[in-house]
Structure 1
Amino acid sequence: MSRVLLIEDDPAVREGVALALRRQNHDVTATATGEEG
């Protein structure tokens, strides 16, 4: 399992990509800005 930091300002895109990565057993931290991550 890989850890992924996903930074995307569009909530729909962010959640869609995060869901796809989690389904592939990645540990995902999704945030809107680099400051939050």
Structure 2
Amino acid sequence: MDPEPWHSPQISACCSFFSSRGQFERLVSFEAALSDA
């Protein structure tokens, strides 16, 4: 299994998509909320 899954092309493309849309911060906040739950 890939020890660095976040380095996969699919994840990179997804991050670039969200970042270009100005949604990356919202995504991070959403995940942070899930972690706090």
Same fold (TM over 0.5): no
TM, length-normalised to structure 2: 0.41
TM, length-normalised to structure 1: 0.41
Larger radius of gyration: 2
Structure that is richer in strand per residue: 1
